[in-house]
Chains A and B, each alone.
Chain A
């Protein structure tokens, strides 16, 4: 009875300790991320005051704005103030849109999220089996075909593929819709709930809007999917080739497994950890906002937002966007760490 209680207390304190180290590592990463982005933004030659007052402002107005922005204080104080505001959800106001940066990000991020998620799902569904088949049929025609398709995937410039895709599939054939997220006639009909048009339209049962959003989404998503599937398939192939040469594959076949049975049931579960890393990184880089794709398709996403902010010295917006991307990376890494332990028993702590 007493032993049992001690055991339970130990388990509880152990869990508490793990949660503590988890949260502190999270906080440390966040601190490092904000410190570095803040420093870089202050070290650039861009003058945030000029961006607000313009170059025709008087010295008096300039100095007043300079002091208002807190730029006369030491860097560490500025950072402290920035961090305090950030934690209360205040990322400052964008010069370009005159709106809080947070509001802007909430507006643009779902567009990128929608595009990236559809792209990564397609990339995984095609890229992973493709890589497995190429590895299992290494040197045969299946392997050659998949490798050539992948080679095109990471050699063709994305904007070129986007333009050709628009020209052929939208301009000539009319199979898909053109640029933007919706036809103009459908704009602002659906209430924004998640910001993800497919979901918002489905929630309201507006199926014609759903179809329209989908026909706008499918081409840029396919193009991004092509690039990530090329990478995913290539990495899957090399992970699988490595595993297929292992002794336990021969052992499985001695037990009476077919070749493909050994490939899928034995080798494939063993590539999950590196594969999750690759998929996580691809997804994270898609969530940064694919600037070129978003530009070609006039897709109002994060990539476009940050690029425009950069060109206009809108430092609050740049900083806010960078912090958001950093947090996306941290989030995806955490999720990957969690998945590793599910798929590989060797990584579970006792």
Chain B
């Protein structure tokens, strides 16, 4: 990882409200090369908020501050909306959790993939269609011509997520943030979708941020892992060394995962300590 794709220093995301400010992400710092970085943590630990902040899509009234966020050496802080549009879709993208909600229900699949081409690659008509069909083929959809003309509600969850991946990767971006891309799918389909994602990321040499709460998937799929708690990055380690993690929170997360081979009368609960946030 000689080349640094994404460099984040002291990222803070907070949401002011009448009852005080909620800090969703606290002083998060990390770098990403053309590698796979996993981010794990419980619900509400700030994983997804961090992902959206990197894409400049923090919902209002959220406030993003950082010492530094650069992408390919370009500053991402204080960009105008027009500048963001040059990056999003074309150079950085995101695969979201549930295709049922993240695909537009009244647009044909082919049209939604073609839209990414039209917006980012400056191609239209036949060429956009050709690329969309090629991309559907690349995500291992058996009958691209048929699926091209289907609407999202006519697809299964696994097919929908593959269409989603096709839609987000057709413009060949450098950075992909996958926000729990398999959490909404049946277990049998999860592996298939992961394999497709894996192959695409490898072939195209993309940087990947893989957000998940599934420790097994993350440790087998990623190179490095960040563990988040309460908006803070508690520990960073190599994926293969996750089981030797030092932080008590990471150890607790690992211990809380039930095992198929070991009967336990009571499952372990995750220990949390607000002291860690200081």
Tell me the A residues contacting B by CB distance below 8 Å.
Answer: 246-248, 250-259, 266, 269-270, 272, 343-346
Contact = CB atoms under 8 A, between A and B. Distances in A.
B153 A256 contact: no
Nearest to A270: B106
A10 B115 CA distance: 38
Nearest to B93: A254
Contacts of A254: 55, 57, 88-89, 93-94, 96, 168
Nearest to A269: B106
18 contacts: A246-B101, A247-B101, A250-B57, A251-B96, A251-B164, A254-B57, A254-B96, A256-B116, A256-B119, A257-B89, A257-B119, A258-B81, A270-B104, A270-B105, A270-B106, A344-B106, A345-B106, A345-B153
B102 A251 contact: yes
A161 B102 CA distance: 46
Given A254-B168, A256-B119, A346 B102 contact: no
A253 B57 CA distance: 8
B119 A248 contact: no
How many residues of B sit at the interface, in one of the four size bands?
20 to 34
B9 interface: no
Contacts of A343: 106
A252 B115 CA distance: 9
Contacts of A257: 85, 89, 115, 119
A270 B153 CA distance: 14
B178 to A, nearest CB: 12
A346 B153 contact: yes
A38 B102 CA distance: 52
A203 to B, nearest CB: 39
Interface in B140-173: 151, 153, 164, 167-168, 171
Given A254-B94, A257-B119, A258-B85, A248 B104 contact: yes
Contacts of B103: 248, 251
The 4 closest A-B pairs by CB, nearest first: A256-B89, A247-B101, A256-B119, A247-B102
Given A250-B57, A253-B88, A269-B107, A346 B151 contact: yes
A250 B88 CA distance: 11
B120 interface: yes
B36 interface: no
Interface in B88-142: 88-90, 93-94, 96-98, 101-107, 115-116, 119-120
Nearest to A268: B106
Given A253-B57, A346-B151, A248 B81 contact: no
Interface in B26-71: 52, 55, 57
A256 B106 contact: no
Contacts of B57: 250, 253-254
Interface string B177-196: 00000000000000000000
Contacts of A259: 81
A255 B115 contact: yes
A339 B167 CA distance: 29
A202 B81 CA distance: 49
A266 B103 CA distance: 10
A247 B96 contact: yes
Contacts of A250: 52, 57, 96, 102
Contacts of B101: 246-248
B168 A256 contact: no
Contacts of B90: 256
Given A251-B96, A255-B119, 5 more contacts: A247-B97, A254-B57, A254-B88, A258-B81, A259-B81
A247 B89 CA distance: 16
B153 to A, nearest CB: 5
* Chain B CB within 10 Å, residue with most, of A246, A251, A254, A270: A254
B116 A247 contact: no
Contacts of A252: 104, 115
B102 A255 contact: no
Contacts of B171: 256
Contacts of A251: 96, 102-104, 164, 167-168
Contacts of A344: 105-106
A244 to B, nearest CB: 11
Contacts of A345: 105-106, 151, 153
B90 to A, nearest CB: 6
Contact of B88 (A255, A266, A346): A255
A270 B151 CA distance: 13
Contacts of A272: 106
A255 B114 CA distance: 11
Contacts of A253: 57, 88
Contacts of B85: 256-258
Contacts of B107: 266, 269
A259 to B, nearest CB: 7
Nearest to B151: A345
A252 B104 CA distance: 8
B55 A346 contact: no
B81 A256 contact: no
Nearest to A343: B106
Contact of B167 (A255, A269, A270): A255
Contacts of B119: 255-257
A250 B96 CA distance: 9
A269 B96 CA distance: 22
A145 to B, nearest CB: 20
A248 B105 contact: yes
A346 B107 CA distance: 11
Contacts of B88: 253-256
A255 B164 CA distance: 11
